[in-house]
Amino acid sequence: MSFMSKHESLELQIDELAGGGAGVARDGEGRVVFVHGAVPGDRVQARITRRRSSFAEAEILEVLEASSHRRERSCPLADRCGGCPWQHVDYSEQVAAKKSLLENAMRRVAEVVSFSAAPAELGYRRRARFTWERRGRKLTLGFARWRSRDLVDVECCPVLVPALQEALAALRAHLNAWKGEGRGSALLLHGREGVHLSLRVDQGAPPIGPRQDPIVGGMLWRRDRVLQRWGMEAVSLDERPLSASAGAFTQANAEQDECLRGWISEWTGEEPGPILELYGGVGNLTSALAHPERAVTVVESSPEAIRWFKKNIGAMEGRVTLMEGEAEGATHMLLAQGASFAGVVLDPPREGAKEVMASILQLRPGWIIYVSCDPMTLARDLGTLSAGGYAVEALRGLDMMPQSTHIEAAALLRLDNTEVAG
């Protein structure tokens, strides 16, 4: 039987939330329909907007019966902006949905032991990336529209910490005063000393120069790739102290980041033996691994992250060594050198660490800790490690970014009957 036609209107009961943010329903023949803006428990009249052979997408025409989990959005832009697709969903239901999505991704790999909700739903983001475009007198500064590259102008964002709200207003004032035209991106990072700015300009002259205002430091990437710095070059993320610029990756939620580091410390404890950390960044997880009696070798490729990692090493205990380069090349080099590690820790980007799985299996550490922001690539890579003789001992998830569909997870794996490197 043919699938429902585009623009067809039908009544749907929403059963759950999908990883992309939409509600999930099934038509009368059991075929999946993804309904943007729907909440589990809703009964809606919806119109098909897109169809494929095995599923369709739809928009709500009318909420016939609202779910008990539906609530008013805290931001008037939330139905357009792609940053917070779940603001209309009660937070307890967001957490339950994320735990379920993580469990579904891991069902063939391991059991999810726990899922930690965030202490605060709003006002938690200490780091955010904005895109801006200036055409004549019109400035648009904000986030991409849902499933689009078009920009939604954002003057106020409820998930930002107050200091970033002030910095966003200051950035808007600079861009409004600028006479040129262009497009670029801006990263804002809040730390103990204030806010740091990383600005990329795709065309035209820089709209901001060295001056004093709520943005305490900055970087400009010009079209010729010349990097300029002024003012405060970085901020301390917390009391460790660990410094970073806005141009280097840091976790957006300080409290949940501390929770994640706590898991790393708990799992590694006082275990002896050298550790290899891949995708080390500015040293965020390294600070949880460093121990007076332990050697840690860290691999990182980003020049900006490397710059701040070198400055952060001085505050870390034990013997911490940095290898500059891509993880794949570094692990091949370590194998050629006959290196041995008690454990490996990795926190790769969203696409996972497929390129280093073979090398990690050859290194044969006694244990592995894998931190991930994408359940599907985590499941793929854990499957590879499991096939190579590792068993998942613990798997935990946490909500790093409430109102979004982002899921953070960490897994501890051990290799049975393997002598741990000394």
Alpha carbons within 13 A on the beta-carbon side of 80: 11
Residue 421: per-residue pLDDT: 40
Indicate the pTM of the whole model.
0.93
Chain CA centroid to CA 101, Å: 16
**Both structure tokens of 422:** 């000394």
Residue 72: per-residue pLDDT: 95
Domain 95-119+252-415 has CATH 3.40.50.150: yes
Residue 419: per-residue pLDDT: 43
Topology annotation, domain 1-70:
OB fold (Dihydrolipoamide Acetyltransferase, E2P) (2.40.50)
Residue 286: per-residue pLDDT: 97
Average pLDDT value for the chain: 91
Residue 326: per-residue pLDDT: 98
CB distance 404 to 83 below 8 Å? yes
Asked whether the bond before 241 is cis by omega within 30 degrees of 0, the reply is yes
User: Helix axis angle, 91-106 relative to 375-387, nearest 10°?
Assistant: 30
39: amino acid identity, one letter? V
| 210 Cβ contact list (under 8 Å, min separation 6) | 230, 231
pLDDT tens-digit map of 153-189: 999 999 999 999 999 999 999 888 887 778 889 999 9
- The more confidently predicted of residues 256 and 9 is 256
Domain ranges in the chain with CATH number 2.40.50.140:
1-70
Chain CA centroid to CA 343, Å: 24
For residue 7, pLDDT over 80 is answered with no
Residue 2: per-residue pLDDT: 45
pLDDT tens-digit map of 76-133: 999 889 899 999 999 999 999 999 999 999 999 999 999 999 999 999 999 999 999 9
Domain ranges in the chain with CATH number 2.40.50.1070:
127-236
From residue 184, alpha-carbon distances to 59, 203, 210, 220, 418 in Å are: 31, 8, 18, 10, 51
> Dihedral of CA 97/102/108/114: which sign?
negative
Residue 178: per-residue pLDDT: 82
**Percent residues over pLDDT 90 in the chain:** 75
Residue 422: per-residue pLDDT: 36
CB distance 369 to 268 below 8 Å? yes
Domain 127-236 has CATH 3.40.190.10: no
CA separation for the pair 13, 39 (Å, rounded): 10
Residue 1: per-residue pLDDT: 36
Residue 180: per-residue pLDDT: 75
